[in-house]
Chains A and B, each alone.
Chain A
Amino acid sequence: MPRIFVYIAHKNGVADDSAAELLAAAKKIDAAASPTAIVTGSGPDLDAVCSTLRASYGEVWKVAHEAFAYPNAELIRKALVKIVPAGSIVLVAHEHFGIDLGPGLSIKLNAAFVSDVLAIDGIDGTDLKVVRQEFGGQVSAHVRCDISSGAVITVRPGAFKPTDSGALGGTVVDKSSEVGTISAGRRYLQTVVAEAGDVDITKHNVLVSIGRGIQEKDNVSIAQDLADALGAAVSCSRPVVDAKWLEKSRQVGSSGKTVKPKVYLACGISGAFQHLAGIKGNPFIIAINKNPKAPIFQVADVGVVDDILEFLPEFTNKVHEMRTVAAK
């Protein structure tokens, strides 16, 4: 069996949630494996993370470098190529850093690459069998990956349920001296925090959320009318922001806001995982979509197959009607 490494991201001295999920994924590849965590960074934050990870990993490779104060995928790739033995399997979370790091790392390690893996079905000879999704989650695919010269695999956040690994009391191994001089053609300048919008969708109990199914900018008012009637706010998925029909501050998802409403009406939203990642707190999800195969119906509590452009105005009228009756 190849040796398994897990790259752990961290912030402010705290390991990312993916630390436990990647460990679970490693155990799916090889239940008997003792995966090694790799953490890059600098200063006391790095030591704090390494120390925490000792509880769940038998070995933690600490890679300190002043250039790692902010995670630059190109620099970290160069360090990993120096320290990771040939033929290893490296797991990374499939988020903005993993997307930056993974493909290039696989080339430099001369290893196979599979991205955004949702499930691992085990090993068959030199092939690792994994499950991915395509077409925005409308279909899944079984994928075989030849790991005979190693593999880099990015793992979808939330796909692997952390298991209790007990208190391992692993050791921290300092690999910093093996990194040497590194430089990158890309240099971090600063992070610009997203602007607050006119409406704070994170503070609403009910969201009328629209996706590509709203079709054009003029139709956004249909959703706003319903939101007004319900006392809700309008939020949206990525295509609506891409088309400039709503501001970025209205976007729910991993690259938008994380919301915790009580009721979430997903209207004309297909339900890509990046969108679902922004819905927390287990709200009651109502999905209205004219495509009966839309992935959103897999996660919704209640679904209606209908055209939102016709359905929403009638819904709004009904709310007004009900309120008029109630007022009498």
Chain B
Amino acid sequence: MEILVCARRVPDTSENEIALNSAGNDIERDELVYSINEPDNYAVEEALQIVTRVGGNVTVATVGGEDDEEILRREMAMGANHGVLITDEAFNGSDARGIATILKAFVQKGNYDLILTGVQAENGGAQVGGMLAALLDYPFASLVNSIEVIDGKKLKISREIEGGNKEMSEIDLPCVLSIQTGINEPRYVGMKGIRQVASIPIPTYGATELALDASTVGAAAAKVTRVDYFVPALGKGAEMLEGTREENIEKLLELVAAKGGLK
């Protein structure tokens, strides 16, 4: 099975406290730690496990710039066969539809049976996978938390729905699936593994190679634009305990008891 995973490099929210910059219109980007978008990493692991079971290749592609190569190498160190950087100044400022349009052009250059994305990235959009599927006229499922290959023509999948219940479906190949975190346990990647793939050339694709009409991508084509970031004025918010740790613990204990929480 030929599998493409669409991945992104994002500020790592487990490593960073996201705050506004001094101008108050963007997040503070100095010293942000970046890593692969967590759900995308689960998607790559799932692709690798499928290939281990049924054979095939895993390609990881990202739309971005030079800095984004690091996540491609990281995923290659995990075992992905190929990394591809899709990059062009004309792509800057694309909205989700623009990114999906770029990915569609890339997909059509290859011969993929299965395309995976992470369920969402740091902006919580959960949108590129579904758009890509619709542009390709492929079936789509979001929030996928298990995949079983039935044969070369279809998969049995489950989606995570309310209450932790699973919605089981059969889906025809080729298709696009957005992968939910927790579907597997992504393997560890050490520095040694990354060094081993450090010198493998990473092919790049731009608007020309993809025969993309510049008017369908980039800032000019974007219908959806983020104007700025802000932190909303809090409602009441929590009463913050500012004492020593011991004082805070005593206060909490009193509160827990008062609220009927100690039996």
Contacts and interface: CB of A to CB of B under 8 A. Distances in A.
A100 B17 contact: no
A143 B240 contact: no
Contacts of A291: 17
B27 A144 contact: no
A149 B224 CA distance: 12
Interface string B146-162: 00000000001011111
Given A113-B96, A293-B19, A298 B255 contact: no
A129 B228 CA distance: 12
Contact of B229 (A100, A141, A258): A141
| Size range of the chain B interface in the assembly | 35 or more
Interface in A269-300: 270, 284-287, 291-293, 297-300
B3 interface: no
Given A96-B143, A100-B142, A263 B261 contact: yes
Contacts, number: 265
Contact of A322 (B125, B128, B253): B253
B185 A139 contact: no
A194 B250 CA distance: 38
Interface in A101-159: 102-108, 112-116, 129, 132-136, 138-146, 149
Contacts of B229: 134, 139-141
Nearest to A264: B261
A102 B130 contact: yes
A303 interface: yes
Nearest to B119: A99
Interface in A73-101: 73-74, 77, 95-96, 99-100
A184 B239 CA distance: 52
Contact of A298 (B128, B133, B142, B234): B234
Interface string A198-219: 0000000110000010000000
Contacts of B130: 99-100, 102-104
Nearest to A213: B14
Interface string B209-249: 00000000000000111111111101101111100011011
A200 to B, nearest CB: 13
B97 A106 contact: yes
A286 B225 contact: no
B227 A286 contact: no
A305 B131 contact: no
A242 B181 contact: yes
A245 B109 CA distance: 41
Contacts of B167: 96, 188, 191
Interface of A: 73-74, 77, 95-96, 99-100, 102-108, 112-116, 129, 132-136, 138-146, 149, 184-194, 205-206, 212, 230-232, 238-239, 241-242, 244, 248-249, 251, 254-258, 262-263, 265, 270, 284-287, 291-293, 297-306, 310-311, 314-315, 318-319, 322
